[in-house]
């Protein structure tokens, strides 16, 4: 007998069905699309988003090689299932930095979510709470961090870029502490923006009413020196270094997580600097095009830290089987970014809740078919490299 678990439109999203379901640009609901996968939501989002929003949320840097390869990396591995294995009492639970989580699917920091849907970051937080998912809020969120914290998520981290002054950085950290965030996630792979040609082609700029409200009131970067090079003498002159990470470690009792680690030497240095966890990330292919896909580099980072800290990863995850492959290569948990705003643009907070449910359903089914009743049973022996 084959057990069929319904995961189509409308399944598992009644927890927050009081939310409206208006689209961003078009009324996607009028066409009543069948949304049974994250790919379905991505296709619908291309119609729901404005061209400017689509370029920002769905695009990457340069020729978008890394964007494509992040996804393609999962196809390099096939799963080798085990059979006739007992599944009674199975679960997707795990422990991460002292927290017991129901599943390993985290919501990555994504800026300006109100550009995708009026529900914005608060809607995403409500969906995260309903599906028991840990959410990472971007410092470039379009809503105040305090408002998002009140929206209902029970476990939340706050992402920052190191600001031009340490005082400004500390202002953000203190606000996050007061609002109940449990970790500071420092993005370290984007001291300067990548070359985003897709955004250039549509004339990207923030729409009226959308702004990085948590950064308002903080001092701007110093002006470009006369005759100076914009990249080397301005942006990179104000970029953080390892001493800034060590300083930040001394300033807060919150967990400190570095996001954007790809090189094994950097991973070891991060642990020495006091990081409590690392996120293997290439910024979703939005910064340095042709940088190594995250799944490809994950084993090297895991090997470098030798279990000293948890290693998480993001990039290209659209299926429950992708999560199994990431776990098999050493990731403690995974983060999704683009799928959040794609679902948000199509069906608001309800859409975000739905994709989380879809991913968890797919993960549980794949675990059962691979003979794994717990995340700890997922190992490299499940993978065959093609």
201 is in an annotated binding site: no
21 is in an annotated binding site: no
User: How many Å apart are CA 365 and CA 320, to the nearest integer?
Assistant: 8
- Phi/psi for 144 (5° steps) reads -60, 140
H/E run at residue 183: strand 183-187
User: How many Å apart are CA 367 and CA 360, to the nearest integer?
Assistant: 10
338 is in an annotated binding site: yes
259 is in an annotated binding site: yes
255 is in an annotated binding site: no
144 is in an annotated binding site: no
249 is in an annotated binding site: no
Burial of 109 (0-12, 13-18, 19+ CB in 10 A): buried
Cβ atoms 137, 158 nearer than 8 A: yes
109 is in an annotated binding site: yes
56 is in an annotated binding site: yes
Strand partners, 313: 280, 334
Is 283 one of the annotated active-site residues of the chain?
Answer: yes
- Annotated catalytic residue, options 103, 255, 283, 354: 283
216 is in an annotated binding site: no
Closest CA to 107 of 17, 185, 52, 40: 185
12 is in an annotated binding site: no
Degrees (nearest 5) of the Cα angle 377, 378, 379?
Answer: 110
User: How many Å apart are CA 269 and CA 250, to the nearest integer?
Assistant: 16
User: How many Å apart are CA 156 and CA 154, to the nearest integer?
Assistant: 7
283 is in an annotated binding site: yes
What DSSP state is assigned to residue 308? S
36 is in an annotated binding site: no
CA 147 to chain centre: 20
What is the rounded radius of gyration, in angstroms, for the C-alpha atoms of the chain? 20
Looking up tokens 């997922």, which residue turns up?
378
Q: Which residues are annotated as a binding site for glyoxylate?
A: 56, 161, 196, 283, 286
Q: Which residues are annotated as a binding site?
A: 56, 109-111, 138, 159, 161, 187, 196, 259, 281, 283, 286, 337-338
Active-site positions read: 283
Q: Which residues are annotated as a binding site for FMN?
A: 109-111, 138, 159, 187, 259, 281, 337-338
């Amino acid at each position: 007998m084959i057990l069929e678990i319904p995961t189509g439109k409308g399944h598992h999203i009644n927890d927050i069905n009081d939310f409206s379901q208006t689209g961003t640009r078009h009324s996607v609901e009028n066409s009543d699309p069948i949304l049974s996968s994250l790919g379905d939501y991505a296709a619908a989002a291309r119609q729901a988003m404005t061209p400017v929003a689509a370029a920002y949320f769905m695009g990457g840097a340069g020729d978008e090689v890394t964007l494509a390869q992040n996804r393609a990396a999962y196809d390099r591995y096939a799963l080798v299932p085990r059979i006739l294995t007992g599944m009674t009492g199975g679960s997707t639970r795990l422990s991460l930095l002292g927290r017991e989580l129901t599943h390993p699917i985290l919501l990555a920091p994504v800026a300006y979510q109100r550009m995708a849907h009026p529900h914005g970051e608060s809607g995403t937080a409500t969906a995260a709470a309903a599906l028991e998912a840990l959410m990472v809020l971007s410092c470039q969120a379009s809503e105040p961090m305090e408002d998002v914290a009140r929206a209902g998520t029970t476990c939340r981290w706050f992402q920052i870029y190191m600001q031009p002054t340490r005082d400004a950085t500390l202002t953000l950290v203190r606000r996050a502490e007061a609002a109940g965030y449990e970790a500071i996630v420092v993005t370290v792979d984007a001291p300067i923006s990548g070359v985003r040609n897709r955004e250039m082609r549509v004339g990207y700029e923030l729409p009226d009413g959308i702004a990085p409200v948590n950064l308002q009131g903080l001092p701007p970067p110093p002006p470009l020196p006369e005759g100076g090079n914009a990249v080397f003498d301005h942006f990179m002159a104000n970029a953080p270094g390892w001493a800034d990470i060590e300083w930040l470690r001394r300033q807060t009792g919150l967990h400190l997580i570095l996001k954007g680690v790809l090189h094994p030497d950097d991973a070891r240095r991060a642990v020495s600097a006091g990081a409590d966890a690392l996120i293997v990330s290439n910024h979703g292919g939005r910064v340095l095009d042709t940088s190594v896909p995250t799944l490809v580099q994950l084993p090297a980072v895991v090997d470098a830290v030798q279990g000293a800290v948890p290693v998480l990863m993001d990039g290209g995850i659209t299926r429950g089987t992708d999560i199994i492959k990431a776990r098999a290569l050493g990731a403690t948990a995974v983060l999704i970014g683009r799928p959040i705003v794609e679902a948000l643009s199509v069906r608001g907070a309800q859409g975000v809740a739905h994709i989380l449910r879809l991913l968890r359903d797919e993960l549980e089914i794949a675990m059962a078919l691979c003979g794994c009743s717990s995340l700890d049973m997922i190992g490299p022996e499940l993978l065959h490299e093609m």
